[in-house]
């Protein structure tokens, strides 16, 4: 008999590990509830954080989810980088707290200088929404330990400003120090330099990527290739990292 996973079951699972992960909501955020559900499915407790908060409410990790923070005015993520909550996020990240930025969250991490480079308009000038294959390049981060080096995963991608750019010097440094975490497999969907889909900081606790792992954590609700659960590893990796301490 197949077990039925209910919202109550998921809520109970969120307390299993004793780990709590904050999910920040900015004006215009779209994927905060999806990220919170992914955290619950990984056995941690999601904690709602608001852009105007000044503290992180004692959480063990933070996710900056996708969307259009502050309407994507100025540059995507630029205004969010000055939100009150980001002072606490930057401080905690620099002290070693695991932080994941997804899509708009990746843009915010770059605007906050927790990650180098920038995300610009897709080279074809169109918003794109599709399932995307990624190659896992680095498993030595707080968010990728449950994957294997060279593994191909398939998760949804949706962005209009997803082209990762940086100077040749920064790109060479990212490549040379193993800080490219994910690379686009097959075709490059947005013109990102060197097919880079995600990167990490030097310590490996901060990761940003454009595709959306939180949309591929339940069978039947994500891409058919990979069973729809290729994104689970992000969240289970973070929980495992935090439980180990």
Per annotation, catalytic residue among 76, 103, 110, 161: 103
- Please report where in the chains the tokens 């074809």 appear, as a residue: 124
Chain CA centroid to CA 104, Å:
9
- Residues linked to residue 132 through DSSP beta bridges, in sequence order: 155
Contacts of 82 (CB under 8 A, 6+ apart): none
**CA–CA separation, 114 and 132 (whole Å):** 25
Q: What angle do CA 245, 238, 205 make, to 5 degrees?
A: 75
CATH architecture entry for 20-244:
3-Layer(aba) Sandwich (3.40)
pLDDT tens-digit profile, the chain (245 residues): 233 334 443 444 455 789 999 999 999 999 999 999 999 999 999 999 999 999 999 999 999 999 999 998 888 999 999 999 999 999 999 999 999 999 999 999 999 999 999 999 999 999 999 999 999 999 999 999 999 999 999 999 999 999 999 999 999 999 999 999 999 999 999 999 999 999 999 999 999 999 999 999 999 888 987 789 999 999 999 999 999 87
**CA–CA separation, 181 and 185 (whole Å):** 13
Does the active-site annotation cover 202? no
**CA–CA separation, 24 and 17 (whole Å):** 21
Does the active-site annotation cover 103? yes
Contacts of 72 (CB under 8 A, 6+ apart): 28, 104, 161
User: Pairing mode, if any, of strands 61-64 and 128-136?
Assistant: unpaired
pLDDT at residue 15 in the model: 58
How far apart, in Å, are the Cα atoms of 214 and each of 107, 165, 169, 190, 193? 17, 24, 32, 20, 24
pLDDT at residue 3 in the model: 33
pLDDT at residue 101 in the model: 98
The answer to whether the CB of 161 falls within 8 A of the CB of 67 is: no
The answer to whether the CB of 165 falls within 8 A of the CB of 120 is: yes
Chain CA centroid to CA 91, Å:
18
**CA–CA separation, 75 and 160 (whole Å):** 12
pTM: 0.92
**CA–CA separation, 152 and 143 (whole Å):** 16
Contacts of 89 (CB under 8 A, 6+ apart): 24, 56, 62, 64, 99, 112, 114
**CA–CA separation, 21 and 76 (whole Å):** 24
Per annotation, catalytic residue among 133, 161, 214, 215: 214
Per annotation, catalytic residue among 51, 111, 161, 212: 212
pLDDT at residue 17 in the model: 83
The answer to whether the CB of 54 falls within 8 A of the CB of 29 is: no
pLDDT digits (tens, 9 = 90+) for 75-88: 899 999 999 999 99
Which two structure tokens, joined as six digits, stand for 188?
């490059």
Does the active-site annotation cover 169? no
pLDDT at residue 85 in the model: 98
């Amino acid at each position: 008999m197949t077990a039925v996973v209910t919202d109550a079951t998921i809520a109970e699972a969120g307390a299993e590990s004793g780990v709590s992960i904050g999910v920040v909501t900015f004006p215009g955020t779209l994927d905060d509830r999806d990220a919170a559900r992914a955290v619950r499915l990984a056995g941690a407790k999601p904690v709602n954080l608001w852009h105007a908060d000044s503290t992180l409410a004692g959480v063990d990790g933070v996710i900056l989810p996708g969307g259009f923070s502050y309407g994507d005015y100025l540059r995507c993520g630029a205004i969010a980088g000055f939100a009150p909550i980001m002072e606490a996020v930057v401080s905690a990240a620099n002290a070693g707290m695991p932080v994941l930025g997804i899509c708009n969250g990746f843009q915010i991490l770059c605007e906050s200088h927790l990650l180098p480079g920038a995300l610009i308009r897709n080279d074809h000038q169109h918003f794109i929404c599709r399932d995307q294959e990624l190659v896992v390049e680095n498993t030595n981060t707080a968010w990728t330990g449950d994957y294997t080096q060279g593994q191909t995963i398939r998760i949804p991608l949706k962005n209009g400003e997803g082209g990762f750019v940086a100077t040749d010097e920064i790109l060479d440094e990212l490549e040379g120090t193993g800080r490219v975490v994910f690379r686009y497999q097959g075709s490059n969907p947005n013109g990102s330099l060197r097919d880079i889909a995600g990167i990490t900081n030097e310590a490996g606790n901060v990761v940003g990527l454009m595709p959306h792992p939180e949309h591929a954590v339940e069978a039947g609700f994500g891409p058919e290739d990979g069973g729809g659960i290729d994104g689970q590893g992000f969240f289970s990796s973070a929980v495992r990292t935090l439980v180990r301490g």
